[in-house]
Amino acid sequence: ITVSSGGMLVQKLNTDDLQSERTAFDGTMVYAQNKRQQVVLTERWARAHPAIHFSCMHPGWVDTPGVRLSMPGFHARLGARLRSEAQGADTVLWLALAPTDAVQPSGRFFQDRKPVPTHLPFARTSSSPAEEEKLIEILEELAQRFK
């Protein structure tokens, strides 16, 4: 089970500068890109390993130290409407304990115990197989550095 974020919903997979080596580091953007990458990887793993179940989920907007520090304006505007940490953990715990038939097929994205789309209508965030393969190649190259 991978914990993603709704922040990825407005991000198209971008493999041009995964390490922010050519552009200024923007923590919020990098976070959202990483969450998009998690969704892509979860879908690919589900296809590649059918005997293993993979799910990805969005906990909703949760009042955490990370949200308070990285998005203070967002936190100030939403304040009391943000979920508690326990509420945010509900779906990930449910996914871990749910009957197999409740979470099939493998590779889906969940929020509030329900499968939800990984792309907003007209947002143009879908990636091609070639873009996804490029992500895998880059990640494999990065992994080789740490062997």
Instruction: Using alpha carbons, select from 21, 27, 32, 49 the residue that is nearest to residue 105.
Output: 49
Rounded-to-integer distance, Cα 9 and Cα 137, Å: 23
Encoded tokens for 90: 């509900």
Phi, psi of 21 (to 5 degrees): -85, -25
Beta-bridge partners for 56:
2, 109
**Contact present, 110 and 55 (Cβ < 8 Å):** yes
**Contact present, 110 and 116 (Cβ < 8 Å):** yes
Encoded tokens for 128: 């091609």
**Residue 24 is a catalytic residue:** no
Q: Which is catalytic among the residues 1, 31, 78, 131?
A: 31
Q: Which active-site residues does the annotation give?
A: 31
